[in-house]
Amino acid sequence: MDIRDSTGFAGVLISPPNSPLQYPSNGVPVEPLKTTHLPGLAVHARGRTVFKVSLRASHGVMAVQRVPQEQEVRGQNQSTLDISATSLAHLNDLLAQVTYCSTVYHLHMDDWVHFSFEDHEVIFPVTIKRSSISVLYDPGTDINSQVTIVIKTFLRYKELRLLIESIRVKYPDIRIIIADDSIEPEKVEGHNIYQYIMPPAQGWFAGRNLAVSQVTSKYFLWVDDDFLFLKETSIEKFVEIMEAIPKLDVLGGTAGSVRFYFTLDHQVGAEGEGGCLSRQKNQHHGPLPGFKDCVLVDIVVNFFLARTDAVRKVGFDPNLQRAAHPEFFTDGLGRLLVASCADPGLVIGHPNRERTAEYKKFRHHGNDDTSARLRLYYSKNHLKCIGY
């Protein structure tokens, strides 16, 4: 049996009496330190002259709101509540009035209520959780108010300016945010362009954090500074899919001729020894419902639309200064719903350009950089093995 609200959502599942005890089997959410009704408590048994039940909690106290005869309830506002009655109807009337109030303040923790009658006992969870405030964005009326383009740049002003020119062909007014940690910064000017100058060579993920921190729109589109918008590139198509799937957090497309995606498999190890993480290229978790050219994955190419609030909750580790990408999605595993699409509108150009010697010097640090990234994986993500 379930209790549904006005929208039809089953908020609480009530277990029917396989045993004589009826209770909210999927648990009850409560605000810390606030009294909340425990719904669905009842006993289904007959043929007794006296009916006695007991409820016991570890992190809260319980009470019956209105007791016609005081001797029928013991332990009011205590962690153990005993109720007795001479009729089943009277007992269930009292159980229908049982409340719970946590004795601890915590943002999110579980208590377990033991509900017993004669030789029968059930245990159900009470989730002590502080409600959070929603983060809403003005949906606006056009793509310019819905999406911000975000770019991290370093020593590639020629490529960056070509990218901006290609954006402005189709999106002359969309906001562009640039995080720039170049050694000798150059001013990048233009309509609705915001360039944030960082200390030199602070790194890839530090720049991503800075850029995303300045986004005020519901979505941001991540592009590398050496990409080019094409005639087919459609930010509207990205938004169309994201709006249709409200739980989707990141949607990747195709950069140049590359549409890579990966799944991650995390095997939790024994306590204290760490787990194992493996990555499978071009594997997916199944299709994205309603979109035949899209699949659910864990990692996408470096051209994606994302929900701003979802990505901010994960963030980009500033310890990763140079080559880094899957590390963000690893941190978001289980927290971000990610998809990749082969739609012709979700494509951007990625020309092959010669990199300067100065850029190469900072970008590639060989085995030392790879070792540092692996050490970070092992320590921060508590791993004992990694497989690519």
Q: Which helix (H) or strand (E) holds 113?
A: strand 108-117
Q: What is the distance in angstroms between the CA of the first residue and the CA of the last residue of the chain?
A: 47
pLDDT-derived band at 367, boundaries 50, 70, 90? low
Pairing of strands 36-37, 98-102: antiparallel
CA distance 164 to 139: 24
* d(C-alpha 36, C-alpha 31), whole Å: 8
More confident call, 311 vs 4: 311
The percent of residues above 70 in pLDDT, for the chain, comes to 90
CB burial of residue 173 (10 Å; 0-12, 13-18, 19+): exposed
Copy the structure tokens of residue 5: 């609200």
Percent of the chain clearing pLDDT 90 (strictly above): 70
pLDDT bracket for residue 90 (50, 70, 90): very high
Exposed, middle or buried: residue 62 (CB in 10 Å: 0-12, 13-18, 19+)? buried
Q: What is the pLDDT of residue 137?
A: 85
Label residue 5 by pLDDT band (50, 70, 90).
very low
Decide: helix, strand or coil at residue 158: helix
Q: Is residue 234 helix, strand or coil?
A: coil
| 3-state secondary structure at position 359 | helix
Average pLDDT over residues 161-186: 96
Would you say residue 9 has pLDDT above 80?
Answer: no
Take residue 35 and report the two structure tokens written for it: 């009294």
309-331 pLDDT, tens digit per residue, is 999 999 988 887 766 778 899 99
Cβ neighbours around 303 below 10 Å, total: 24
The pTM (predicted TM-score) of the whole model is 0.82
Dist CA 139 CA 136 (whole Å): 9
pLDDT tens digit sequence for 98-135: 999 999 999 999 999 999 999 999 999 999 999 988 88
C-alpha dist (Å) from residue 10 to 6, 24, 42: 10, 12, 19
Split at pLDDT 50, 70, 90, the class of 71 is: low
Judged against a pLDDT cut of 50, whether residue 7 lies above it is answered with no
The amino acid at residue 102 is S
What pLDDT does 2 receive?
43
| Residue 1 predicted with pLDDT over 70 | no
| pLDDT tens per residue across span 319-363 | 877 667 788 999 999 999 999 999 999 999 998 766 665 555 555
Q: What is the mean pLDDT of the chain?
A: 89
Find, among 36, 34, 17, 29, the residue nearest to 115 by Cα. Answer: 17
- Sequence-distant (6+) residues with CB within 8 A of 58 are 79, 111, 112
Average pLDDT over residues 159-187: 96
Question: Does 77 score more than 80 pLDDT?
Answer: yes
What is the pLDDT confidence band of residue 377, given thresholds at 50, 70 and 90?
Answer: confident
Distance, CA of 47 to CA of 39 (rounded, Å): 25
Q: Domains in the chain, ordered, with CATH?
A: 2-129 (2.60.40), 143-387 (3.90.550.60)
CA distance 209 to 300: 18
Supply the DSSP symbol for 172.
S
- Report which of residues 82 and 365 the model is more confident about: 82
Over residues 245-263, the pLDDT tens digits come to 999 999 999 999 888 899 9
Q: Is the pLDDT of residue 215 over 90?
A: yes
DSSP state, residue 298 = S
Biggest alpha carbon distance in the chain?
Answer: 91
